[in-house]
Structure 1
Amino acid sequence: MSVNSVNSATPSTNEYYLTRQSQMESNVRSYPRKLPLAIAQAQGCWVTDVEGTKYLDCLAGAGTLALGHNHPAVIQSIHDTLTSGVPLHTLDLTTPLKDAFTEALLAELPGGKEAYCLQFCGPSGADATEAAIKLAKTYTGRGSVISFSGGYHGMTHGSLSMTGNLGAKNAVQNLMPGVQFLPYPHEYRCPLGLGGEAGVDALTYYFEQFIEDVESGVTKPAAVILEAIQGEGGVVVAPTKWLRKIREVTEKHGILLVLDEVQAGFSRSGKMFAFEHADIEPDVIVMSKAVGGSLPLAVLGIKRKFDAWQPGTHTGTFRGNQMAMGTGLASLNVIKEQNLAKNAQERGDYLQAELKKLAQELPCIGNVRGRGLMLGVEIVDERKPADHMGSFPADSALAAAIQTACFNNQLLLEKGGRHGTVIRLLCPLIITQEECVEVIARFKKAVQEALVSVRGA
């Protein structure tokens, strides 16, 4: 059945397609439970369901759609690739298209192709994190890894082992051994109970002591893996001094520093990569989501001296997705030519400022944080006593109601963070000022409606 014949089919209700989906797909499906629609069309920052309702999309494929839906440059790239005669699937054989994409991507890494080489992995970010850790173990000959509470690195066996959230881990026994978790700084919920600069300073000191203390009880790891901005963990931004200390200590002790830029990369934070805010250079950069310009692709940027692979020691059938390399190249070009990093920073600054104003009016918004167009709004129950740092208890019921109310106001967004209490905005980088104003208006209305439905006030 063709796309056109599907679009002209008789059924035209969300309920029809959602019911069929529930009948044909596994219980593992998640987004349709929170965002119950069947999408018919999409353009830019807007999605239209089969009933003709238009939604403002601040989810954007969990950050995959840097240029929004069906950007003309992406569509043109798909057309050009299809009509060029290039094979769509080439394993790791090269093509002129792959060559051009590789050169363009390397140019965005610190030091360019003189400092880094690329490894094309299977099409998901999880596979790329798996490859990064295998490489670190191969290079160092060591077997353990340090990860951080709140981090998210994927759902495959090894990447899940390095992910902080316990929800998906509790049912799966015997995950990859040798993963040591350390606390990640959090401006609203300091894991040490100190808060502010004192908490950041203590965690910065603690990391160095943990690695260098001969009585720490933990052997030297092969790698440290982290996100410069935790995404699924609730949009938690790494403090610059902490991130720089981790770079200093790992470099000193021959530990590979792996930066997971799957969600924060490609100008979402206001810079091409989120780690650039701390002016550091990772040993391995994990890239997926936006790197493929909306199509499946995952790539590692590896500092050349750490490229310890032997031929074929990490493979993947779909690492040669030519169409994704074409759309990835088109996306990179648009990001650079239109300076979308600047747009992300400016639109993000506006959204963050307006959300903080809203927090003054609606104190159930306990904290607003993020960088660029990667923003988090933590929902709390301000009616209950604050802790000694002034932080109120999380209100997961209200956060869920806000997401539902946003959907009812035609605003698509996701939750994250501990207990699902952080409303997350991952707007396309092309979002306009007018659309940002609309985001705030719809969000405010949704919070007010959710407060009535949950608290009756």
Structure 2
Amino acid sequence: MRIFEEMESEVRGYVRSFPTIFDTAHGSEMFDEQGKRYLDFFAGAGTLNYGHNNPLITDALIAHLQRGGIVHGLDKATVTKRAFLTKLRDTILAPRNLHYKVQFTGPTGTNAVETAMKLARLVKRRSNIISFTNGYHGLTLGSLAVTGNYDYKDETYGSRSNTAFMPYDGFLGPDVDTIDYMRRFLEDGSSGVDLPAAVILETVQGEGGINVASVEWLKKLESLCREFDILMIVDDIQVGNGRTGTFFSFERAGIFPDMVTLSKSIGGGLPMALLLMRSELDQWQPGEHTGTFRGNNLAFVAATEALAYWESDDLSQAVLRNGELIQKELQRIADKYPELDARVRGLGMVWGIELPQSGVAGAASAECFERGLLVETAGDRDQVLKLLPSLLIEEELLREGLGIIDDALGVLVEKRHKAIGG
């Protein structure tokens, strides 16, 4: 590991949580250079919904390169872009009665978020954007301004102007309707909260600790946006692309956002981000918002293959079945160790087990790593073990990974009992 410590910036993060040198990967398994096997419940922070080195995607990429297909094309028309747009329209958008225009932004999620906010301000001629407590939308300056995570905040980065935060569903407890709370600020011109151009939200907050917004809350928020002429932006970068069981995370609520940001798994494991927008919002002038890598043709190839999984509802049903298995097993584990005060929450195949006592989730992640499982932490105090396995994971491997979590927590409980006894 010496070369990484010598050459790579201190900003590196995941290498500290998973301190080994990885070499190969297949599906839901990774192997380090010593050949040690790890189950992957991390999946590139949600980038690898279709697994590592998915053979359908890999074969298509190899064929594209071997025939001399375009790799970099800016926003020029290419055969691979045409194939992706056609597949996205016919397989994803049209069956859902969605008529979005597509804008390719820079290659990562924060680029799509920045683009959405810039366009919302352009269209509405208002500068304020409302985000929600514990929301995460990226770390470039515009996206950082609507990201709630305290650890990423530092005013020396720049002023977080023209943004406001409102409480997410459940933030003020089960008896407080936070949409009514938000309405009061919007109704009163002297509340100090300017009428926003848009609100931006995740329907399931991933980095915030697996906080799931209710269908009722999402519907009320959409209605509030319509009433006050506010654009609704759903950030589906991590929990879209099938993670919740439907392709878009908002489908369960029957709502129709004005804009949707997508990245991570939309590129089939390769860098790509895009913004979906209602056609009347597409008010850009040619070249008004650009980026050198907004036309990743290798990602178009990979994404077209990945979208084939959504030609039927087989994957969606598998996600829901596996989600039930994860929920059942995590709840069993939580009940097994009552001294940990664990709480389970999630949807589809994005789940968290909250371990509220300080340092327990981090210690559990480390114990899991020693036993051959990659699982990260989330939440405002890193108090949640966050499970993001591949959507294609075999049930045998899913159960094996859940068993490792059980064992890891058992070790922590045993250590605590010994410490108390000593």
TM-score > 0.5 by shorter chain: yes
Does residue 174 (structure 1) correspond to residue 158 (structure 2)? The answer is: yes
CA distance in 2, matches of 1:249, 1:113: 22
State the partner residue of 1:257: 232
- Give the partner amino acid of 1:442: I
> 1:162 is matched by which residue type in structure 2?
V
Rate the CA distance shift 1:31–1:453 in 2: closer, same or farther, 3 A: farther
Kept in 1: contact 2:101–2:279 (CA 8 A): yes
Give the direction of change, closer, same or farther, for the CA distance of 1:110–1:377 in structure 2 (3 Å limit). Answer: farther
Q: Which residue of 2 aligns with 1:441?
A: 403
1:406 equivalent in structure 2: 368
- Which of the numbers 301, 305, 315 marks the counterpart of 2:280? 305
Asked if 1:129 corresponds to 2:105, the answer is no
Deviates more, 1:122-131 or 1:353-362: 353-362
Contact between 1:397 and 1:454, CA under 8 Å: does it hold in 2? Answer: no
Which segment drifts farther, 60-69 or 333-342? 333-342
- Please state if 1:422 is matched with 2:397: no
Other-structure match for 1:379: 355
Q: Does 1:289 align with 2:264?
A: yes
User: Structure 1: which 5+ runs fail to align?
Assistant: 1-17, 381-394
Report SS of the residue matched to 2:156: coil
Q: Secondary structure at the match of 2:381?
A: helix
Select the residue among 346, 351, 356 that pairs with 1:370.
346
Residue 53 of structure 1: how far off its partner (Å): 0.6
Aligned to 2:336: 361
Distance 1:267 1:175 in 2: 35
Residues 121 and 146 of structure 1: CA distance in aligned 2, closer, same or farther (over 3 Å): same
Q: 1:113 offset after TM fit, Å?
A: 8.5
The aligned residue for residue 4 of structure 1 is none
Q: Does the CA-based 8 Å contact 1:121-1:127 persist in structure 2?
A: yes
**Alignment check: 8 A CA contact 1:121 1:131 kept:** yes
Note if 1:183 corresponds to 2:158. Answer: no
Give 2:195's aligned residue.
220
Pick closer, same or farther for the CA change 1:256–1:287 going to 2, 3 Å.
Answer: same
- Write the distance in 1 (CA, Å) between the matches of 2:57 and 2:32: 22
Q: Deviations over 1:278-330 (max 9, x none)?
A: 11010000000000000000001111011111111110100111000100111
Conserved? CA contact 2:150–2:380, under 8 Å: no
Q: Would the aligned equivalents of 2:141 and 2:158 in 1 still touch at CA under 8 Å?
A: no
> Are the equivalent residues in 1 in contact too, given 2:43–2:49 (CA < 8 A)?
yes
* Residue 120 of structure 1: aligned partner: 104
Cα–Cα, structure 1 residues 203 and 93, in superposed 2: closer, same or farther, change >3 Å? same
Counterpart position of 2:135? 151
Shift of 1:76: 1.0
1:100-136 per-residue CA deviation (whole Å, 9 max, x = no partner) reads 1012223413776872110000000001000000000
Within the candidate set 390, 393, 401, 1:431 is matched to 393
Distance 2:23 2:160 in 1: 41
What's the secondary structure of 2:151's corresponding residue? Answer: coil
Counterpart check, 1:25 vs 2:1: no
CA separation of 1:403/1:455 partners in 2, compared to 1, >3 Å: closer, same or farther?
farther
Aligned counterparts of 1:345 and 1:224: Cα–Cα separation in 2? 29
Give 3-state SS (helix, strand or coil) of 2:165's partner: strand
Distance 1:322 1:242 in 2: 38
Aligned partner of residue 109 in structure 1, secondary structure? helix
TM-score when normalising by structure 2: 0.95
Q: Mind listing any 5+ residue stretches in structure 2 that lack a counterpart?
A: none
Answer yes or no: is 1:75 the counterpart of 2:50. Answer: no
Higher relative contact order (CA 8 A, sep 6+): 2
Q: Deviation digits for residues 416-435 of structure 1, max 9, x if unmatched?
A: 00110000000000012211
The 1-side partners of 2:94 and 2:308 are apart by 18
Kindly provide the amino acid, as one letter, of the partner of residue 34 in structure 1.
S
1:232 paired to 2:207? yes
Out of 147, 157, 160, the position equivalent to 2:144 is 160
| Farther off after superposition, 45-54 or 175-184 | 175-184
2:179 alignment partner AA: T
State the aligned residue count.
417
Report the AA paired with residue 129 of structure 1: V
1:181-232 alpha-carbon deviations (Å, 9 max, x no partner): 011123xxxx32x33xx23xx2132122322233422221011000001010
State the distance in 2 between where 1:26 and 1:338 align: 44
- The aligned counterpart of 1:38 is 21
Shift of 1:254: 1.7
Change (3 A) 1:64 1:95: same
| Aligned counterpart, 2:358 | 396
Counterpart-to-counterpart distance in 1, 2:96 and 2:163: 31
- Asked if the contact 1:66/1:290 (under 8 Å) is kept, the reply is yes
Please say which of residues 76-85 and 228-237 is displaced more in the overlay: 76-85
Counterpart CA distance in 1 for 2:396 and 2:214 is 31
| DSSP 3-state at the match of 2:345 | strand
CA distance in 2, matches of 1:51, 1:365: 37
Q: In structure 2, how many angstroms separate the alpha carbons of the residues matched to 1:175 and 1:273? A: 33
Q: Distance in 2 between the 1:217 and 1:175 partners?
A: 17
- Counterpart residue identity of residue 178, structure 1: N
Amino acid at match of 1:408: E
* AA of the residue aligned to 1:48: F
- TM-score (normalizing by structure 1): 0.88
Distance 1:134 1:410 in 2: 43
The alignment yields a C-alpha RMSD, in angstroms, of 1.6
- Alpha carbons of structure 1 residues 338 and 85: separation in structure 2 relative to 1, 3 Å: farther
Query: What is residue 390 of structure 1 aligned with on the other side?
Result: none
1:64, 1:294 within 8 Å by CA — same for their partners in 2?
yes
> How do 1:186-205 and structure 2 match up within 5 A?
186=170, 191-192=171-172, 194-195=173-174, 198-199=175-176, 202-205=177-180
Shift of 1:84: 3.0
Who is 2:72 aligned against?
A: 89
CA contact (8 A) 2:141 2:157 kept: no
Mapped partners of 2:406, 2:69: distance in 1: 49
Structure-1 separation of matches of 2:117 and 2:148: 16
